């Protein structure tokens, strides 16, 4: 499918919302956008380092991609343009071509280009989950979305600029109780306004941080946060949920480039009774590995808009989970890990052409607890699917 001209105007779609109230968290707009572009251009060496992170030590490729970025970046005036010309135009196709044996998507026909949606997604890769969503929205000729990221990823101004030029919304973390409440109130107001007033879609992970164990569950507090700014406005919780056009997103990687690192981190956390302090650049290293390492096949599935009567955030979270589990693409890696751990032959017919022995050998050098954690991270999506099918 060729990338067609996006049906959304290049500038912001908002006609009712005052974005100036959210300058500290929202994607850059207007003069803020232009100022950030100029700051990025002042540090071209950082852009070169970022490109090198994608293409390795191939100097010719680095210069080719970097020149393509520099030829376009000064011409963009909004984050949809930045996505089209830079992220979805250069970066994501490069990642797909270099690190995936196949990329597929499904379900995009349910998206009405005249509406804003809350894309509530499972979360496996720090950057790619939402980047691939925007790429496929563009490929499907649908409006692009903004994306919520934790401020723990904003390690310096250059990285913050790249995120916010790219439609990034900053979620403040590590706050005191009062500050956390005020921050949640601000996010709630922004999300609801963007989606229901400005018809702008937003990507949001179903829980803070990646699901390192392969168990995709929605944190009800995220749903509760959406209603925080609307309580005193005469709208019921159920009415708000229906207005937000929540679309569950399932993304599945045949191979997780960070699987072993996630396993080591979680086992160490368990040994330290839940305490684990990340090193300064640990997230950056995970980002780099997630972008440049091999992933095999990747599938991104869009569910159906959530509607109906909902009494509690837990009810909404349960429906999001159901759709994510049922739409998750189960790869042979998932099935092989499940059969191995469960000592079953449930998927033996599906695995006739899969080298299970080679897959298991990838983890043979690990300590037993880390190996078991990693294999369970591959097997758990199967368990989640089987549980949903049993409950149906």
Contact 299, 106 (CB under 8 A): yes
Residue 88 placed within a domain = yes
* Residue 312 is assigned to a structural domain of this protein: yes
Question: What span, in angstroms and rounded, lies between the C-alpha atoms of 228 and 189?
Answer: 8
CA 365, CA 58: separation in Å to the nearest integer? 30
pLDDT of residue 54: 75
Other C-beta atoms lying within 10 Å of the C-beta of residue 335: 21
d(CA 48, CA 65): 9
Q: If you ran DSSP here, which 8-state letter would residue 172 be given?
A: P
CA dist 305 and 307 (Å) reads 6
Task: For residues 155 and 151, give the distance between their C-alpha atoms in angstroms, rounded to a whole number.
Answer: 8
Q: Of 332, 241, 211, 85, give the one whose Cα is nearest residue 340.
A: 332
- Domain range for 287 is 19-329
Q: How far is 164 from 156, CA to CA, in rounded Å?
A: 12
> CA quadruple 7, 11, 12, 14: dihedral positive or negative?
negative
C-alpha angle with apex 345: 342 to 348, nearest 5 degrees? Answer: 130
**Mean pLDDT by groups of 10 residues along the chain of 392 residues:** 36 66 94 94 85 77 85 89 89 92 96 96 93 94 93 87 94 89 95 96 93 95 96 94 97 96 89 62 81 95 96 97 98 98 97 97 96 98 96 75
The number of residues in the chain equals 392
What's the rounded Cα separation, in Å, for the pair 314 and 328?
21
The answer to whether the CB of 338 falls within 8 A of the CB of 346 is yes
User: What are the tokens at 143?
Assistant: 């409006």
Q: Which residues contact 65 (CB under 8 A, 6 or more apart)?
A: 51, 54, 55, 90, 94
Which residues have CB under 8 Å from 98's CB, separation 6+?
A: 54, 55, 292
Residue at 386 is within a domain = no
In a domain, 122, yes or no: yes
Under DSSP, is residue 252 helix (H, G, I), strand (E, B) or coil?
strand
Structural domain contains residue 313 = yes
Q: Is residue 342 part of a domain?
A: no
User: 125: domain CATH number?
Assistant: 3.40.1130
- Token duo for residue 30: 């207007």
The answer to whether residue 235 sits within a structural domain is yes
Non-local (6+) Cβ contacts of 63 within 8 A are none
Would you say residue 24 lies in a domain? yes
Distance between the two ends of the chain, CA-based, in angstroms? Answer: 35
State pTM to two decimals: 0.92
Number of structural domains (the chain) is 1
Edge-to-edge order in the sheet of strand 296-302: 100-106, 296-302, 246-253, 118-121, 201-205, 145-150, 168-171
Residue partners of 240: CB distance under 8 A and separation at least 6: 192, 226, 227, 230
For residue 13, give the 3-state DSSP assignment: coil
Please state, as a whole number, how many other Cβ atoms lie within 10 Å of the Cβ of residue 261: 18
- Would you state the pLDDT for residue 277? 64
Dihedral angle at the C-alpha atoms of 176, 181, 185, 191, nearest 10 degrees? Answer: 70
């Amino acid at each position: 499918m060729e990338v067609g001209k996006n049906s959304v105007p290049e500038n912001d779609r908002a006609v009712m919302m005052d974005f100036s109230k959210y300058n500290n968290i929202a994607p850059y707009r207007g003069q803020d956008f232009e100022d950030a572009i100029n700051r990025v251009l002042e540090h071209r060496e950082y852009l070169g380092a970022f490109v090198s992170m994608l293409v390795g030590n191939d100097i010719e490729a680095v210069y080719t991609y970097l020149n393509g970025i520099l030829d376009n970046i000064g011409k963009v005036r909004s984050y949809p343009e930045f996505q089209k010309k830079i992220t979805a135009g250069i970066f994501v196709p490069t990642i797909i071509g270099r690190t995936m044996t196949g990329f597929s998507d499904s379900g995009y026909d349910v998206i009405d280009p005249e509406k804003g949606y809350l894309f509530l997604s499972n979360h496996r890769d720090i950057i790619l989950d939402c980047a691939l969503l925007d790429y496929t929205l563009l490929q499907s000729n649908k409006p692009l979305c903004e994306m919520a990221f934790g401020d723990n990823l904003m390690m310096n101004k250059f990285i913050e600029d790249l995120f916010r030029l790219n439609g990034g919304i900053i979620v403040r973390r590590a706050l005191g109780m009062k500050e956390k409440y005020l921050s949640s109130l601000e996010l709630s107001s922004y999300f609801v306004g963007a989606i229901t007033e400005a018809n702008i879609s937003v990507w949001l992970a179903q829980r803070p941080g990646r699901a390192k164990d392969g168990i995709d569950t929605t944190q009800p507090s995220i749903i509760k946060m959406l209603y925080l700014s609307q309580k005193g406005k005469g709208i019921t919780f159920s009415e708000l949920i229906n207005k937000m056009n929540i679309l569950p997103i399932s993304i599945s990687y045949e191979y997780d480039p960070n699987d072993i690192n996630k396993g080591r981190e979680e086992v160490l956390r368990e040994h330290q009774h839940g305490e684990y302090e990340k090193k300064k650049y640990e997230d950056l290293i995970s980002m780099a590995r997630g972008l440049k390492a091999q992933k095999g096949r990747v599938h991104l599935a869009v569910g159906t808009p959530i509607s109906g009567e909902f009494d509690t955030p837990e009810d909404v979270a349960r429906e999001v989970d159901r759709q994510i589990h049922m739409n998750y693409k189960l790869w042979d890696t998932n099935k092989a890990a499940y059969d191995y751990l469960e000592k079953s032959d449930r998927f033996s017919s599906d695995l006739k052409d899969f080298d299970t022995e080679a897959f298991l050998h990838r983890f043979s050098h690990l300590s037993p607890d880390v190996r078991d954690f990693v294999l369970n991270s591959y097997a758990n999506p199967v368990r989640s699917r089987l549980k949903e099918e049993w409950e149906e």
